[in-house]
Amino acid sequence: MRASRAPRRLTIVLAQWCPHCVPLSVKNGRLLAKGLGIPLRLLDIDRKDQGKEADRYVRRYGDAAPDYLIPQVFLEWSDGTVEHLLTGFSEQVARTAAAWRSLLSSAWLARTRRGARG
Amino acid sequence: MKGGSGLPAPLRAALRVGEATCYRHCDRPTRVTEITSGLPGLWQVLACPSGVVSVVSYAELGSTNPSNRVRGALRRWASPVSLVRRRDLRLATRHGPELGPRAERWLAAAPPGQRVRVVYWRVYPSKGADGVERRLGVCQDRHRAPVFFFGSPGSVDWVCPKCSRPPGASRPPGSPSPGLRSRRQSSRVAGTGNPAASPLNRRGRPQAHRPPSGHHRVPTPLVLRR
């Protein structure tokens, strides 16, 4: 069941020009991935080789809209499931930064890390 | 309420907008106004003292995407209704871990399938054939409900279509209209017009940094921007 699955990869859908994405979410994504002991994948919506996969991820697992918000952060699990973790806050970059801080100090992360170690 | 169950206090607190500055119009702090409507969730309008809207958000706990209901409500408040376009509505799901310990605990105990969804309505400034830049404005102190319109701030057309007065000329302090509750007028002036301090633009893109073209799909704007 759930206890047997483990985090496999963290994916962030982003764009280089987005201040919510770079450097904020890349930096925090690295911290999160490191804490979970998994690789980080960046999908840039402006790159031909990554844009389609980014759109697919957002449509299938994230917050889809005709003109969707970025960044969007996803955690892939060993059982094949993909969990949407975070979407940038449209109000202000500082609000997205606060969301990252909360996520990195959350009970969910502590539990997930314990599970990953166990 | 169909599809949503409002927003309990811990989530409401976690989703209240903190201090923000006007989005690419001026550096003044935005006033955050909560709107009441037929929908059970939390409406917030961020607008500068001139009435230029940075963003409108609606947050709700429920099992369905509230975008269509949000669009319906906005169309009742917009003049003309064609101001409210689907592509200007953007969805964000908010999870417990990103909202702080109190909200995380609350959401961990929430019934399965219940999610916090926020719909943002951001209308980007655009230039018409006359070359004049127009923005989304709101007149909200003189009416029972906000009146959203599109115009050029500071010009003669920057007036509310309902009361024909500039939106910034508000009522005297202490006399708020029913249905509208101004929660905060920040006294701190923050932001310098630096794109890094600006909110997400189209797909999070700050206009000043927007490359001339992109290969990915970007909806055609109603009128040319920039």
Residue of A nearest to B121 (CA): A90
Q: Which residue has the higher pLDDT, B6 or A105?
A: A105
Whether residues A90 and B57 touch (CB distance < 8 A) is answered with: yes
Q: Which token pair is A77?
A: 């699990």
In a domain, A31, yes or no: yes
In a domain, A19, yes or no: yes
Helices (H) and strands (E) counted in chain B, each on its own, are: 3, 9
- Mean pLDDT across chain A: 94
**pLDDT of B141 higher than 50:** yes
Q: What is the C-alpha separation between B205 and B118, in angstroms, rounded?
A: 19
In a domain, A1, yes or no: no
Domain span at A73 = 7-117
pLDDT digits (tens, 9 = 90+) for B67-118: 999 999 999 999 999 999 999 999 999 999 999 999 999 999 999 889 999 9
**pLDDT of B26 higher than 60:** yes
Helix residue ranges per DSSP H, A78-118: 93-104, 107-117
In chain B, which residues have their Cβ closer than 8 Å to the Cβ of A69?
90-92, 120, 200, 203-204
pTM of the full predicted structure?
0.82
In a domain, A11, yes or no: yes
Q: Which residue has the higher pLDDT, B56 or A116?
A: B56
In a domain, A23, yes or no: yes
In a domain, A49, yes or no: yes
Strand ranges of the sheet holding B115-121, from the earlier edge strand across to the other edge? B89-94, B115-121, B53-62, B42-47, B31-35, B180-185
Residues B160-174, mean pLDDT to the nearest whole number: 71
Whether residues B88 and A67 touch (CB distance < 8 A) is answered with: yes
In a domain, A2, yes or no: no
- Identify the pLDDT of residue B71: 97
In a domain, A98, yes or no: yes
User: Residue B149 in contact with residue B161, Cβ under 8 Å?
Assistant: yes
For testing contact with chain B, the best of A91, A111, A112 (most B CBs within 10 A): A91
**pLDDT of B154 higher than 70:** yes
- Here the CATH number for the domain that contains residue A64 is 3.40.30.10
Q: What residues of A are in the B interface, CB distance below 8 Å?
A: 14-15, 17-21, 45-46, 48, 51, 55, 62-71, 84-95, 98-100, 102-103, 106-109
Count: domains in chain A: 1
